[in-house]
Each structure stands twice: as C-alpha cells, then as structure tokens.
Structure 1
C-alpha cells in the first residue's frame, strides 16, 4: 500500500471541502435545521461525488472527462438552477422545533441529493485536472489499486471535514433560538441563491462574449 497516495488524497479532499460555498451552506443548513447526522450524511454525499471525479481524473478516463467537460455548460446550468431553487426553499423554510421526534428528510435522500448537486458541477473535475499534474509521479501508476488508494484518501479527507464541521455545529444546535434559526435560514438561502445566480450569469455572459 502506498501511503503517500493516500495522504495526498486526504490533503486534496480537505482542500476541496474546506472552502465555504453553496454546498457547505446547504450542509450547514441541514445540520442546524435537522441535526448533525443529516449534515454529515449530506457531506458524505459531497465526498462521494468528489471521489468519483477524483477517480475519473486519476485513471485518465479521457472519454468520460471529455464528455463531462464537453457538456459542462449544461451541467453548470442545471447546478445553478438547482442552487437557486434550493436557496429559495431554504430562505422561506420555517425552523422546526429542535426535537428528535420531529419529522426530517431520510438520511438517504440527504446523501443522494448532495451527490447529484455536486456531480452536476463539473468545476470539481476541472480542479482535479488542474491539480493532479502537480503530483506528477501519481500518473506513473494507473493501476486500479493505486487509484483506489488515492480516491480513498480524497473520500476520507472530505468526510473528516464534514464530520468535524457538522458535528461541531450540531453540538450547539440546541442552544440556538428559533429567531436565530430563522435568521440563519434567511442568510443561508440568500447566499445559496446568489451562488446559483452567479453561475448562471457567468454562463450567459460567456456565451454573449463568445458570439462574434
């Protein structure tokens, strides 16, 4: 087992997960609204999608990456629209009572929804394509075992961050008042909408500029 590949994957997984963006805000909102496990399962969904893109990049699956990048405007449009819709839903959502008896979305739905949202953003693939050449010797071994070690590291690194983040927020969730929860929903929803709208505006602006 090549521990260097595993450690590099962990570092890259953390690098991807730590920056605060719309994905982080959704996971944070679910943690505050529904509890730490809902946030953690959502985060694991993000880690899974990151790992898929890591595998595609590491193994050099040019057909798959070429297809994704070739239709990246479509994927990014879908991601932008989904973020806008999710942001609107978060903005207008009313905080439920902090109780284990209240109804929440199934953990599987939390997980799968974040896999879909993250996969729909091909910028993660672009990140891997840009960053992996910096670890040049990685490409010397393209065996399934080497890929599994690296991808496992990405998954572990990303998952560690979501457990720490959502676990920490979940531990203080019960002390947050209803009015503060409502304010968090409004701010998170607005930011998520802005991220999604920004993606769509950049795509439209790019198309207008490219028109001769």
Structure 2
C-alpha cells in the first residue's frame, strides 16, 4: 500500500467526521429512515469530496483565490437551507418510518447528499489545507493522483459505514418516544450549527 493511498484514506476520514451541519443531517436521516438511506446520502457527500480533491490536486496553486471569492455567499445559502430544514422538523410532528429497502429512494438520497456537498464549495479549501498539512503535492504523477482519490473514497466510505452502523444499532435500542426526542435534539444542533455558519459567513461577507 503506497504512502499516497494512506494519506488519501486519512484525508477521507477527516473530511467525513460527522460534526458539520450536513453530517448531522445524515445522522438524523439514519435515525428516522434507517441506516442505508443515511449511508446513501453520506456517499453522495463522499463522492463530492473525491471530486473536490481532484480539483485541489490539479489546481492546488490557483484554487484558493476562487474559493475565497465565492465561499461566503455559498456558505450563507447552504446554512439558510439547513436552518429551514431544522426549524421545519423541530416544529413538525416527527414520524419514525419503517426501514424499507427501495433502490429508488437510495438513489434520491445519494443525489441529495451530492447536491448538499456540491454547494459547500469551501470544502476545497479544507481539502487543500489537509493536503498541505500531509505534504500532498501534485507531482504530475497519475498513479499518485489515483491513489489519493481512491484513499479519500475508501476513508470516507469506511467512516460513514461505521457511523451509520453505530447510529442504526442505537436506534434499535430506543422506543419511538425517545427517538423523537433524540431527533428533536439533533435538529436543534443542526439549527445551531447552521445559524453559526450563516452568522460567520455574513460577517465575513460584509467585511469582504
């Protein structure tokens, strides 16, 4: 196993830590609709992580300027969207759905995660910072690029596979009333994270 592959896996693991607003959304979806729908959504995000990693590798010297130009505006948009979802779920009656294996729904969940992550273009900056910290540079070697991208995919897929497995097993141990309270709490966290994201982005946008 090459060093580039190991660094890619580490990058994928870091990017897939479920602490951001979109990660919280995936956890909430896992609780409400089951493990595989949450995992499908997460894999949409992992796919964009791989795509943005490729952009970062190919244009690592030029990408930061473009990100700075648009990141505040896009962060505000995604923050407002996630705030809307959180408020709606906090105020509405939550129904715990039975887990159903439907390919159509998995595809929809996958593309939902894809769109969420695609809008969050500031991820490229995070990826560039991680690559710089891990001393990953583009040496125009196709083999190195393939190994890094494969590692990002493997790291993200593995972490979300584990995360959704843990959350889904936790789901089985709770009755519906406790699950509803847990989901409300998760959405409060989502609202807080999204609000902070919007406020910070607005302040930076105004100063910018």
TM-score with structure 2 setting the length: 0.87
Taking the TM superposition and a 5 Å limit, the aligned residue runs for 1:47-62 are 47-60=46-59
Q: Which runs of 5+ in 2 are unaligned?
A: none
Residue 32 of structure 1 aligns with which residue? 31
Task: Quote the Cα distance in structure 2 between the aligned partners of 1:104 and 1:188.
Answer: 26
Residue 165 of structure 2 aligns with which residue? 167
C-alpha spacing 1:175/1:149, structure 2 compared with 1 (3 Å): same
- 201-210 or 33-42: which moved more? 201-210
Q: Which runs of 5+ in 1 are unaligned?
A: none
Task: Quote the Cα distance in structure 1 between the aligned partners of 2:62 and 2:205.
Answer: 25
Task: Quote the Cα distance in structure 1 between the aligned partners of 2:141 and 2:167.
Answer: 39
Taking the TM superposition and a 5 Å limit, the aligned residue runs for 1:95-110 are 95-100=94-99, 106-110=105-109
Coordinate RMSD, CA, aligned: 2.5
C-alpha spacing 1:176/1:98, structure 2 compared with 1 (3 Å): farther
Residue 141 of structure 2 aligns with which residue? 143
Q: CA deviation at 1:93?
A: 4.7
Contact preservation (8 Å) 2:138, 2:145: no
Residue 5 of structure 2 aligns with which residue? 6
Q: CA deviation at 1:208?
A: 4.0
- 146-155 or 69-78: which moved more? 69-78
Task: Quote the Cα distance in structure 2 between the aligned partners of 1:84 and 1:39.
Answer: 19
Residue 190 of structure 1 aligns with which residue? 188
Describe the superposition over 1:74-122 as per-residue Cα deviations: whole angstroms up to 9, x where unpaired: 2111111111122123324544345346999811121111121122223
Q: Which residue among 196, 203, 206 is the counterpart of 1:205?
A: 203
Task: Quote the Cα distance in structure 2 between the aligned partners of 1:104 and 1:70.
Answer: 38
Task: Quote the Cα distance in structure 2 between the aligned partners of 1:102 and 1:113.
Answer: 17
Residue 156 of structure 1 aligns with which residue? 154
Task: Quote the Cα distance in structure 1 between the aligned partners of 2:12 and 2:74.
Answer: 22
Q: CA deviation at 1:191?
A: 1.3
- Where 2:120 maps in the other structure, the secondary structure is coil
Whether 1:116 and 2:109 are equivalent positions in the alignment is no
